[in-house]
Structure 1
Amino acid sequence: MASLPRAREARIEEPGGDAAVISMRGAALSYGERVLWECLDLDVRPGEFLAVLGPNGSGKTSLVRALLGGRQLSAGTLTVLGRSPRNGSRHIGYVPQQATLSTHATLRARDLVRFGIDGHAFGPRLRTGAVRHRVDEALESVGAAPYADVPVGLLSGGERQRVRIAQALAADPRILLCDEPLLSLDLHHQRAVTEIVDARRRYHGTAVVFVTHEINPVLGLVDRVLYLARGGYRVGTPDEVLTSEALSQLYGSQVDVIRVRGRITVVGVTDEAAEPPHHPELPHRVRS
């Protein structure tokens, strides 16, 4: 695998190389009277691979939005790279959920990756050789160079996810947020996507927050699991969290975790109602 592109910019300094890049204390997020999660204490450190699990409506995507600065907490504190999260940070790479694209879409793969480099900037984009080289590096690093000039609407789901990851990595992020990147992918492409993400954190120390419904494709890669459900959470290693006892306590009813040939199946969990997609920003409030 080719080396991933290196950013040509000053990094935010941290007090120590192992300091948390994401820190939450007493964090809560609600939609009106409905609490998605609360009292969440979490630190994510450089190079850590954190999988975020839970049923529909448990607030997994809302957590990603909060980390991106697009959703305000209803209680508690959240810092990302030592400051309040904000939209458009080039230090954060984001791989969104797959969206259906028209086959008539003319945006090329390399154009999409280019947005990862200067999409946050205002004004005209400079067509410099250096930027083109960084785009080519990013595409090569995820195995997407052969279709760099193909319109993204003509790419398969697996090819499109490779391009999305290249876009997220193009600015050399310190944090990589992946929101259900394995949806609609076959096993081959699931394996390819997870290997690319894992290589990034191993060789560059990028912290990974990986939202997924299915733990098995990343089970051998993750350091810890954050499991969200019924307004609460469990966090720890897969062996600590993915147990019948831990999930039964979280759900308040019997949940069975079955392990067969290195795969995990959770039985007895019913998806909750889907979370509202466009709820207005919530004001900060302090719980007593």
Structure 2
Amino acid sequence: MAHVPQARQGRTETCPADTAAVISLRGAALSYGERVLWHGLDLDVRPGEFLAVLGPNGSGKTSFVRALLGQRPLSAGTLTVLGRPARRGSRDIGYVPQQAALSAHAMLRARDLVRFGIDGHGFGPRLRAGAVRRRVDEVLRSVGAAAFADVPLGLLSGGERQRVRIGQALATDPRILLCDEPLLSLDLNHQRAVTELVDARRRSHDTAVVFVTHEINPVLGLVDRVLYLAHGGYRVGTPEEVLTSESLSELYGTQVDVVRVRGRVMVVGAPDEVAAPPHHAELPDGVRS
């Protein structure tokens, strides 16, 4: 994969013509009322890049993904996705949402959920039924879910459901894959399986990956850059540049210690919000961050 030039806060990247950004933000800000989640964000994400999005609860990680999906307008600045303003319903964007209660979807089969990724959005030409079935089978095989293609989702484990959700997100062969906390509630083995699926996709198809996570260690060896959101600001760069005591202390305005032990990164001596449990705080208007 081509070398990805790094961006630092307040500095705009230069993007070579042969690696034009698929996501580009300039001076971007997002606020809820008087609460500023982040501002002044300059960022380019290129084909095949793996970007991890980190930060404490309420810092705007999920809101960042919603902005890319065209679901949440910026408060300031500009955002383009594949050279156009962000818009809803693009077949070029695959989306793996946070795991939620199955409720009405519990009896849907795995293949049904993947099929919705192909023809359930209402955009673009419709495939013939036979072509849809073949595509569903192909996608299920590619994510290792063929063995439980006809099993209701409610009977699958959390890791198996995440394989199916990734299959649904990849069903239209997207150029960008957005993953919002895909590792929540998964054990280490399933975390590894999910991250390997995502990494294999970006390497084989040059798909850009934006991966929101509370825990960097499962993807630390895969990511090209980290976008760390906190205190209305941000840091962006390689893990070695961003996940340092100096960088995070400057971002938080207080002493934060980053310790590396046996290849793992731990944040210690941090404000309460850094070490908050892995669930999302409510924002003023009831949406989650």
TM-score, structure 2 as length reference = 0.88
1:13-42 CA distances to partner (integer Å, 9 max, x unpaired)? xx9541000000000000000000000000
Please say if 1:148 is aligned against 2:149: yes
The residue number in structure 2 matching 1:271 is 273
Please say if 1:50 is aligned against 2:51: yes
Unpaired segments of 5 or more residues in structure 1?
A: 1-14, 281-288
Alpha-carbon distance change, 278 to 165 in structure 1, aligned in 2, over 3 angstroms: farther
Structure 2 counterpart of 1:133, one-letter code: R
Whether contact under 8 Å (2:89, 2:123) holds in the other structure is: no
The residue number in structure 2 matching 1:5 is none
Whether contact under 8 Å (1:56, 1:275) holds in the other structure is: no
Whether contact under 8 Å (1:103, 1:154) holds in the other structure is: no
**CA shift at 1:55, angstroms?**
0.2
The residue number in structure 1 matching 2:102 is 101
**CA shift at 1:122, angstroms?**
6.4
Whether contact under 8 Å (2:114, 2:167) holds in the other structure is: yes
Which secondary structure state, in structure 1, belongs to the residue aligned with residue 267 of structure 2? strand
Which secondary structure state, in structure 2, belongs to the residue aligned with residue 79 of structure 1? strand
**CA shift at 1:177, angstroms?**
0.1
Which secondary structure state, in structure 2, belongs to the residue aligned with residue 274 of structure 1? coil
The residue number in structure 2 matching 1:8 is none
Whether contact under 8 Å (2:30, 2:76) holds in the other structure is: yes
Alpha-carbon distance change, 136 to 17 in structure 1, aligned in 2, over 3 angstroms: farther
Structure 2 counterpart of 1:208, one-letter code: V
**CA shift at 1:154, angstroms?**
1.3
Which secondary structure state, in structure 2, belongs to the residue aligned with residue 182 of structure 1? coil
Whether contact under 8 Å (2:32, 2:285) holds in the other structure is: no
The residue number in structure 2 matching 1:241 is 242
Q: What does residue range 47-196 of structure 1 map to in structure 2 within 5 Å?
A: 47-102=48-103, 105-121=106-122, 128-196=129-197
Whether contact under 8 Å (1:70, 1:86) holds in the other structure is: yes
Whether contact under 8 Å (1:161, 1:193) holds in the other structure is: yes
Alpha-carbon distance change, 136 to 106 in structure 1, aligned in 2, over 3 angstroms: same
Mapped to 1, the partners of 2:61 and 2:175 lie a distance apart of 20
Percent of aligned pairs sharing the same letter: 82
Which secondary structure state, in structure 1, belongs to the residue aligned with residue 84 of structure 2? coil
**CA shift at 1:121, angstroms?**
1.1
**CA shift at 1:263, angstroms?**
0.2
Mapped to 1, the partners of 2:204 and 2:261 lie a distance apart of 31
Mapped to 2, the partners of 1:240 and 1:250 lie a distance apart of 13
- Counting matched residue pairs gives 266
The residue number in structure 1 matching 2:209 is 208
Q: CA RMSD in A?
A: 2.0
TM-score, structure 1 as length reference = 0.88
1:18-73 CA distances to partner (integer Å, 9 max, x unpaired)? 10000000000000000000000000000000000000000000000000000000
Which secondary structure state, in structure 2, belongs to the residue aligned with residue 52 of structure 1? strand
The residue number in structure 1 matching 2:36 is 35
Structure 2 counterpart of 1:171, one-letter code: T
**CA shift at 1:153, angstroms?**
1.3
Whether contact under 8 Å (1:177, 1:208) holds in the other structure is: yes
**CA shift at 1:124, angstroms?**
11
Unpaired segments of 5 or more residues in structure 2?
A: 1-15, 275-279
The residue number in structure 1 matching 2:229 is 228
